[in-house]
C-alpha cells in the first residue's frame, strides 16, 4: 500500500501538529486485470484510512469503473470508466465498493475510515451483493475491519 502525505514544509508541519490538525493522507487503490490475489481486483482490497483522507482509484488496466455499494451516511459515488477517480472519506465508517463491469467477478473492495461505526449495516448490505466468482474476497476484506 502506498500512502502519500501532502508535502509540507517543516514549519507548516510543526504548526499543524501544534494546532492539533491531522494531515489528510491520499491513498491509492489500483484497478487491475491481474493482481497478487487474483484477476479483476482492487489493490489493496482492504484499506485502512482516516476520516478526511482521500482515496484515488488508479486505472492501471482499462475497463474498470469504481462505484460505491455501501457508504456511511448513505453518500453514494461513481467514477468514470478508465479514468482516475478520487473520493474524499467525509464520513467515518466502512465503505464497500465494486467495479461496475466486474462486480459479479468479485471485483469489490472495502475502505475503513476511522471507527467502523456502520459495520453491522455494511456487512448486511455486502451480503446482498451478487457475486459469482471470488465469493470469499469481500468476506476476507470485511474480516480485516477492526
Ligand atoms: Cu473492473
- Tens of pLDDT, residues 4-32: 555 545 555 554 444 434 689 999 999 99
Distance 102 CA to ligand 1 centre (A): 4
Mean pLDDT of the chain: 89
Euclidean distance between CA atoms 39 and 137, whole angstroms: 11
Give the pTM: 0.85
Distance 100 CA to ligand 1 centre (A): 7
Fold assignment, 25-143:
Immunoglobulin-like (2.60.40)
Task: Using alpha carbons only, give the angle 8, 90, 97 rounded to the nearest 5 degrees.
Answer: 110
Distance 40 CA to ligand 1 centre (A): 6
Distance 142 CA to ligand 1 centre (A): 19
Domain ranges of the chain: 25-143
Amino acid at each position: 500500500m502506498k500512502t502519500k502525505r501532502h508535502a509540507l514544509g517543516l514549519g507548516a508541519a510543526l504548526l499543524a501538529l501544534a494546532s492539533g490538525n491531522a494531515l489528510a493522507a491520499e491513498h491509492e487503490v489500483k484497478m487491475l486485470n491481474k493482481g497478487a490475489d487474483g484477476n479483476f481486483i482492487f489493490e489493496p482490497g482492504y484499506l485502512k484510512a482516516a476520516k478526511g483522507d482521500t482515496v484515488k482509484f488508479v486505472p492501471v488496466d482499462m475497463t474498470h469503473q469504481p462505484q460505491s455499494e455501501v457508504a456511511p451516511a448513505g453518500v453514494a459515488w461513481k467514477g468514470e470508466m478508465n479514468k482516475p477517480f478520487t473520493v474524499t472519506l467525509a464520513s467515518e465508517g466502512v465503505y464497500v465498493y465494486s467495479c461496475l463491469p466486474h462486480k459479479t467477478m468479485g471485483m469489490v473492495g472495502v475502505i475503513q475510515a476511522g471507527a467502523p461505526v456502520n459495520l453491522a449495516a455494511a456487512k448486511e448490505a455486502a451480503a446482498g451483493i451478487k457475486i459469482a466468482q471470488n465469493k470469499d474476497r469481500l468476506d476476507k476484506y470485511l474480516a480485516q475491519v477492526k
